[in-house]
Amino acid sequence: MIKDSFHADSRPKFTLGELPPCQRPQERLEQFGAEALSDAELLAMLLRSGSKKIDVLTLANIIIRDAGSLAGLLRWRMEDFVAQHGIGNVKALQLITVFEVARRILQGEGGKVPIIDTAEKVFQHLQPISTGIEVEKFWVLSLNRKNRLIKLDEVTKGTATSSVVHPRETFRTAIANGAAAIIVAHNHPSGDPAPSRADLQVTRRLHESSKVLDIDLLDHVILGNPSDDPRGIGYYSFNEAGVLD
């Protein structure tokens, strides 16, 4: 974690209130609206104050730099925030809460009922909740006949290397939701979505069960990160690979 790699002036302004009026994000927010604020200014509004060594805007810039982007803070945990100068446990919990709200809004796509009919859409829908998870989780996306999402359910939660799933739990969820079809997905904490032999075996078992129950298994998508995927995509689709033909 990068910390004190900056040169503070002799009279740092630690809080928003101490900044000159033209530099205060709150005044700019009131005058021009939230869209006029930079990422650092928005974060500074949440932080409210810096530390004895860093003014609040500098702190906001350092945090965003360390996270890679404002969106990167969706992956941050308690220890990531408290490692920064000027952030204690209470402020860290407040920030975690804010970014969890943001994650859930992204997951829900603003209240719309999305159509999920491609692996890319599965990835886009689940990435906000799968990014940064350190254990494997397995989700069932229950769909109606037009591939609109009825409900997203987390079925199992495993270890850092495996998530055990059984057709019984998967299709019990689908039946309870009245699904005409399902897409299943799980994450790879390593970020590399390349399938394992166990992933292939599970997919084949689910495919056979779907035929018996007459609930279509449209895809099994493994979620990773584009930066850790040798193909640069960030996900793997068993349907696109021809396994579900």
H/E element, 223? strand 216-223
pLDDT above 50 for 7: no
Please give the pLDDT value at position 52: 72
pLDDT above 60 for 141: yes
Please give the pLDDT value at position 93: 94
Phi, psi (deg, nearest 5) at residue 190:
-65, -20
Contacts of 159 (CB under 8 A, 6+ apart): 135, 136
Q: Enumerate the H helices of 141-196 as residue ranges.
A: 167-176
Mean pLDDT of the residues in the chain: 84
Please give the pLDDT value at position 50: 73
Distance CA 93, CA 78 (A): 7
Distance CA 227, CA 225 (A): 5
Find the mean pLDDT for residues 21-42: 79
Would you say 235 and 122 are in contact if contact means Cβ atoms under 8 Å apart?
yes
- Structural domains of the chain in order of their starting residue, each with its CATH number: 16-107 (1.10.150), 113-237 (3.40.140.10)
pTM of the model: 0.58
